[in-house]
Amino acid sequence: MTLATADTQKAPGGLAATLAHARYVISDNPVTGIAFGMFLVLVVCAALGPFIVPYDPLASDTAAALQPPSAAHWFGTDNLGRDIFSRVVVASRLDMAIAIFSVALVFAVGGIAGIASGFFGGWTDRIIGRISDTIMAFPLFVLAMGIVAALGNTVTNIVIATAIINFPLYVRVAKSEAAIRRNAGYVQAARLTGNSEWRILLTTILPNILPIMMVQMSLTMGYAILNAAGLSFIGLGVRPPTPEWGIMVAEGSAYIVSGEWWIALFPGLALMFAVFCFNLLGDGLRDIVDPQRRT
């Protein structure tokens, strides 16, 4: 009973220490605090967007078409009279979902493949290396275009295409980090205690390279959003009238010359906001998850 009580008391302390360290990192670095604040805004918009917007993002009103920003329509209206502010906020859910699922997929596949390549070497390294080199031989956005064009422009296929073009990045980062650590003392100790190679890879190597992978994941989130928006801009992404930042920029680009600048500007600013947020977020995530930086 005494041991069980002691273990129960230790667990909250460990969680409390982690939360305290995260709070310290965020408060100590103003840039990291701003990045997490921006990320919170994106999360709130993605989670609650359809419930907090003032208008239906799909409802058109031709009588109110092409109105500039005003008190009634903060970001103005588009050529069909749809409220741009409502569409920008609601679009964050789809763009964030594409980024999260594509990054999770490439981390699960590319990260594990890269760790195995660096840890085992030999034929494992050669096979995974050749796959990465083959993908890198193509211009990545053109490759994404080809994949989506071949499979069909659905959200699932956009996620798969985004994961595929980011595969070599994760493989190379994970491989280099795993190769450095495969002969470390704690890995040798894990072998001597009878752990299998795959158990060592997943429970010893992976947690130690997670901080650098977190930075890569944060950067890739921004790139995934840009990639989805780029595919939508050229007509290979999400299909209209679904609210999506790339589609909205594409629709608004035709009206810039005639003076309706707001149709493309605000979705473009939302894209910039999201990418800037994830670029800043990487360093903060590294500091939080890296055990060597905890005080």
Domain residue ranges in the chain: 53-280
Looking at 17-26, 117-126, 214-223, 278-287, which range is the least confident one? 17-26
**CA 173 vs CA 36, 117, 131, 176, 287: distances in Å:** 24, 11, 15, 5, 18
- Give the pLDDT confidence score for residue 75 in this predicted structure: 93
Instruction: Report pLDDT digits (tens) over 79-98.
Output: 899 999 999 999 999 999 99
pLDDT at position 1 over 60 = no
Q: Say what the pTM is.
A: 0.83
- Give the pLDDT confidence score for residue 15 in this predicted structure: 57
- What is the chain's mean pLDDT, rounded? 85
Those residues whose C-beta lies under 8 Å from the C-beta of residue 36, and which sit 6 or more positions away, are 26, 281, 284
* Cα within 13 Å of Cα(97), Cβ side: 13
* Contact status, residue 278 vs residue 290, Cβ threshold 8 Å: no
- Give the pLDDT confidence score for residue 5 in this predicted structure: 44
* Contact status, residue 98 vs residue 159, Cβ threshold 8 Å: yes
Those residues whose C-beta lies under 8 Å from the C-beta of residue 280, and which sit 6 or more positions away, are 31, 32, 34, 35, 38
CATH class of 53-280: mainly alpha
Give mean pLDDT, residues 178-198: 85
Amino acid at 29: N
- Give the pLDDT confidence score for residue 148 in this predicted structure: 92
Amino acid at 211: P
Residues of the chain above pLDDT 70, percent = 90
pLDDT at position 155 over 70 = yes
